[in-house]
Amino acid sequence: MCKVQLKNARLRPFVLFMALFLMNVSWAFAQLTVTGNVQSTTGEPLIGVNVVEKGTTNGTVTDLDGNYTLRVAKGKTLVFSYIGFLSQEIVVNNAKVNVTLKEDTETLDEVVVIGYGSMARKDVTSSITTVKADQLNVGVFSDAASMLQGKVAGLSITTSGDPNGSPSITLRGASSLRTGQAMQPYYVIDGIPGVDISMVAPDDIESIDVLRDATATAIYGSKAANGVIIINTKKGKHGAERTNVSYSGYVAFDNILNTLDMATADDLRAYYSQKGEEPKNDLGANTNWQDEVLRTAISHNHNLSINGGAGKTTYMASLNYQDREGVIKGSSMDRLNVRSLVTTKVLKDRLEISAGVNARYGKAIGVPMNNEGASVLDAMNYFSPGLPVRNEDGSWSKALTGSKSYNPLSLIYEDTSETIYKNTQLLGKASLEIIEGLKWNVNYSFTNNQSTYSAYDTHNTQLEGVSAYNGQARRNTYFGHEHIFETYGNYDTTFNDIHKLSLMVGYSWEEKMSNDGFGLTVHDFYDDMLKWNQLTYASTIDGIPAVESGTKETIRNISFYGRASYSFNSKYMIQATIRRDGSSVFGKNNQWGTFPSVSVAWNITEEEFMKNQNLFDNLKFRLGYGVSGNALGFGAYTAVETYGASGFFNYNGKQWRTLAATKNANPDLKWETTGMFNVGLDYGLFNGRLNGTIEYYYKKTNDLIWNYPVSTNIYPFGDIAANVGEITNKGIEVSINAVPVQTKDFTWNTTVTLSHNKNTVNRLSNDKYEVGVFTQGDPMVAGVSSEGYTQRIIEGQPLGTFFTYEFAGFNDNNEATYYVRDENTGERTGETTTTPGYKDRAITGCAQPKLNFGWNNTFNYKNWNATVFFTGVFGNDIYNGTRANYMSPEMLSGGKNVLKEFLEHPTTSGSLPSDRFIESGSYLRLSTLSIGYTFKNFNGWLQNLQLYVTCNNLFTITSYKGLDPEVNMGGIDPGVDYRWSAYPHTRTTMVGLKINF
For residue 49, what pLDDT band results from cuts at 50, 70 and 90? confident
Q: What is the mean pLDDT of residues 851-871?
A: 94
What is the C-alpha separation between 277 and 273, in angstroms, rounded? 6
Q: Which residues contact 615 (CB under 8 A, 6 or more apart)?
A: 685, 686
Q: Which residue has the higher pLDDT, 891 or 6?
A: 891
Mean pLDDT of 751-768: 94
Res 845: pLDDT: 96
> Does residue 441 carry a pLDDT above 50?
yes
Q: Which of 450, 382, 460 is nearest to 420 (CA)?
A: 450
DSSP string, 487-532: EEEEEEEEETTTEEEEEEEEEEEEEEEEEEEEEEEEE--S-SSSGG
pLDDT in tens, 830-847: 999 999 999 999 999 999
Bridge partners of 61, per DSSP, are 50
**With contact defined as beta carbons under 8 Å apart, do 879 and 777 qualify?**
yes
Question: Given a cut of 50, is residue 216 above it in pLDDT?
Answer: yes
pLDDT digits (tens, 9 = 90+) for 678-715: 999 999 988 888 999 999 999 999 999 999 999 888 99
Alpha-carbon distance values, 461 to 377, 395, 626, 740 (Å): 17, 11, 56, 61
- For the residues 98-109, what does the mean pLDDT come to? 70
Closest CA to 701 of 724, 719, 722, 678: 724
**Residue 427, pLDDT above cutoff 80:** yes
> What is residue 535's DSSP assignment?
G
Single out the residue of 632, 609, 731, 775 nearest to residue 227, CA to CA: 632
Sequence-ordered list of residues with C-beta below 8 angstroms from that of 466, at least 6 positions apart, any chain: 457, 472
pLDDT digits (tens, 9 = 90+) for 309-342: 877 899 999 999 999 999 999 999 999 999 999 9
Alpha-carbon distances, residue 787 vs 777, 781, 783, 838, 978 (angstroms)? 11, 11, 11, 9, 16
Q: Burial of 34 by CB count in 10 Å (0-12 exposed, 13-18 middle, 19+ buried)? A: buried
Residue of 370, 376, 522, 356 whose CA lies nearest to 447:
356
Q: What is the pLDDT of residue 29?
A: 41
Mean pLDDT value of segment 936-958:
87
With cut-offs at 50, 70 and 90, classify the pLDDT of residue 109.
low
Lowest mean pLDDT among 239-248, 345-354, 593-602: 239-248
Our CA dihedral for 330, 325, 289, 261, rounded to 10 degrees, sits at: -150
The residue count for the chain: 997
Give the pLDDT confidence score for residue 238 in this predicted structure: 63
Cβ-based neighbour number of residue 651 at 10 Å: 8
What single-letter DSSP state applies at residue 96?
Answer: B
Q: What is the mean pLDDT of the chain?
A: 90
pTM above 0.75?
Answer: yes
CB burial string 279-306: b at 16+ within 10 A, e below: bbbbeeeebebbebbbbebebbbbbbbb
* pLDDT for position 526: 94
**19-33, 226-240, 547-561: range with lowest mean pLDDT:** 19-33
What is the model's pLDDT at position 84? Answer: 65
Q: What is the pLDDT of residue 295?
A: 96
Q: pLDDT: is 240 or 441 the higher one?
A: 441
Beta bridge partners of 764: none
CA atoms within 13 A on the CB side of 777: 31
pLDDT computed for residue 42 by the predictor: 67
- pLDDT for residue 28: 40
Q: What is the mean pLDDT of residues 932-946?
A: 82
Q: In the structure, what pLDDT confidence band is assigned to residue 19 with cuts at 50, 70 and 90?
A: very low
Q: Are 992 and 249 a contacting pair, CB within 8 Å?
A: yes
408/287 Cα distance (integer angstroms): 12
pLDDT digits (tens, 9 = 90+) for 402-423: 999 999 999 999 999 999 999 9
- Rounded percentage of the chain residues whose pLDDT exceeds 90: 68
Can you spell out the DSSP letters for 961-997? -SS-S-----SSSTTB--TTT-PPPEEEEEEEEEEE-
Q: Are 99 and 50 in contact (CB under 8 A)?
A: no
The residues near 395 (Cβ < 8 Å, ≥ 6 apart) are 460
CA dihedral 686, 687, 692, 696 (to 10 degrees): 70
Question: 65 vs 890, which has greater pLDDT?
Answer: 890
pLDDT band at 105 (very low <50, low <70, confident <90, very high): low
Q: What is the pLDDT of residue 83?
A: 67
Q: What is the pLDDT of residue 104?
A: 65
25, pLDDT greater than 60: no
Instruction: Note the pLDDT tens digit of each residue in 470-508.
Output: 999 999 999 999 999 999 999 999 998 889 999 999 999
What's the pLDDT at 5? 40
Strand partners, 722: 706
User: 971 pLDDT band (50/70/90 cuts)?
Assistant: confident
DSSP 223: G
- Closest to 452 (Cα-Cα) out of 476, 479, 424, 472: 476
The predicted-structure confidence for 713-739, as pLDDT tens digits, reads as follows: 899 999 999 999 999 999 999 999 999
pLDDT for residue 421: 95
Q: Which residue would you say has higher pLDDT here, 626 or 632?
A: 626
Q: Residue 20 carries which DSSP code?
A: H
Report the C-alpha gap between 853 and 149 in whole angstroms: 10
Q: What is the structure's pLDDT at 3?
A: 39
Give the list of residues 6+ apart from residue 40 with CB closer than 8 angstroms, or none. 46, 85, 100, 101, 103, 687
Question: Cβ(85)–Cβ(104) under 8 Å?
Answer: yes
